[in-house]
Amino acid sequence: MDLLKDPANDRYVKTLKPPPHRPLSRNLMFPDKLKNKPDWKLLRDHLQKEGRIAKEDLFKLVADCNKLLKNEGNVLYLQDPLTVVGDIHGQYYDLLKLLEPKVGGNPENTKYLFLGDFVDRGSYSIEVIILMYAIKLNFQNSVYFLRGNHECRQLTAFFNFKEECLYKYDQETYEMLMDSFDLFPLACIINSKFIAIHGGISPDLKSIEDIKKIERYHEPPRQGLFCDLLWSDPVDQEQGYLDTAWKSNEVRGCSWFFGGDSANKFLQRNNLISIIRAHEAQLDGYKMHRWNGGQDFPVVITIFSAPNYCDVYNNRGAVIKFENNTLNIQQYQYTPHPYLLPNFMDIFTWSIPFVAEKITEMLYNILQTDIQGDDDEQISESDIQQFKQLTKQGGLQKQSTTGSSQGAQKNTEKLKNKIKFVSTMMKMQRTLREERESIIQLKGACPDKRLPRGILMKGKDAINDQLADFTTAKSVDLINEKMPYAQIPQESIQIKKPSTQRKK
């Protein structure tokens, strides 16, 4: 893996190694032609350095993995020991943390179940998919995937995975990966006691057999059982109370909210204990929905494995570890990642606000040369009188003398409005330049590329307030979530907090 050359010796940060100069060669990627398995460790390190692989090697990797995925049923059946992982969302460097022995476990000796949402939001979804497929090809009987709601054409086009594919490869690559996502299984039964799905249950779900009957090899529909497995949510109410058995999910724009009554009936009917799902960001990386009382086992457990989601949520990541009939929660903090400009923009596009600010400042100075400076940059009365006097003398007025007074007033107001407009533009441009990093972070939570209305005019404090905490970040991001009882003998829940504090 030859590193990028620096013949002029002008690399600004000498301590940061440059990325690999060329894609990883096929001979290194597939060292054993007989076994036809990729060297996942070499791939892991290569991608960590921001390396790439050739398009034909990516196609081969996915085609080989597709053969395994297609042979798996809609419902998997797994036994512990097992690590269950929630949403990853293109956060490759956090995935590397997750795969460490002290967190999720080394894939060489750990069985994994991933609950979907590998892509979108983060900028390294391609790297996540490459590494995940490489690991699955090496450990076919111990690494399993379920489909998330983001493994579909509609959301990946709305968010940034399609854009990432076009930036790093091309349209053909994007379509190939979408076809691969169509092969992912939909649910898993763990230890014959738990059902694991990405979203939640459905009014159309009576038994596990209903899931097995789904024709899954296509884009998920907007309604029905297939949709609900990927999209439904438990109601956000401490006792799991709903007025009706199912409530329309207005947050998602599709599917349902389900409560304790519906969940308990489903679990009892299928002789299960709890529903394990992902799909929702959690401040601590997990949430126990103890709808049957604090002493009972949670009816629903939500797990979320993307720490500091979108670089603004300030949440922890977590995984579930089943071992010896015991369920453990392992939390972890986020890992710093290489900086990329938002939406993979080039440096010229990124620099436009700086250029625009200077042009606006020039225009402002042309229109007004003597403004009393304050925060609102108001026009002084003396300036207005001066413009009136100039108008009366013919400086701004080309009409006849009889209409000079009215014409002067009209032109003065026009000029005054122009200066106010340019002043407002200057303030917005200054905010864009001075708070560039904060704005980029805030836009990371708004992948529709729209900042909250009026935020630039409110200045620095308002932008920082929007980034202040998890609740605010989740509230700002809420619009993007739309689609465009049984006891366990000898089981317990243990929470393992991360050993180190998050680096500021």
Residue 494: which region, alpha, beta or left (left: phi > 0; alpha: psi -120 to 50)? Answer: beta
What is the sign of the dihedral through the CA atoms of 300, 305, 307 and 312? negative
What is the sign of the dihedral through the CA atoms of 341, 342, 343 and 348? negative
CA dist 440 and 163 (Å) reads: 17
CA dist 391 and 382 (Å) reads: 14
- In contact, 433 and 355? CB cutoff 8 Å: no
Residue 236: count other Cβ atoms within 10 Å of its Cβ: 11
Q: Is 78 helix (H, G, I), strand (E, B) or coil?
A: strand
Q: Which of 46, 89, 150, 198 is catalytic?
A: 150
CA dist 349 and 355 (Å) reads: 10
Residue 206 DSSP one-character state? S
Residue recorded with tokens 């724009």 = 253
Give the list of residues 6+ apart from residue 449 with CB closer than 8 angstroms, or none: 343, 443
Distance of CA 407 to the CA centre of its chain: 56
CA dist 391 and 389 (Å) reads: 5
Q: Is 457 helix (H, G, I), strand (E, B) or coil?
A: helix
Strand order of the β-sheet with 326-332 is 143-145, 112-114, 82-85, 317-323, 326-332, 493-496
> Taking CA 132 as the corner, what is the angle to CA 127 and CA 134, rounded to the nearest 5 degrees?
95
Does residue 150 have an active-site annotation? yes
Residue type, 102: K
The two structure tokens encoding residue 93: 């460097």
Give the list of residues 6+ apart from residue 334 with CB closer than 8 angstroms, or none: 91, 94, 97, 307, 308, 317, 502
Burial of 416 (0-12, 13-18, 19+ CB in 10 A): middle
Point out the residues that are catalytic. 150
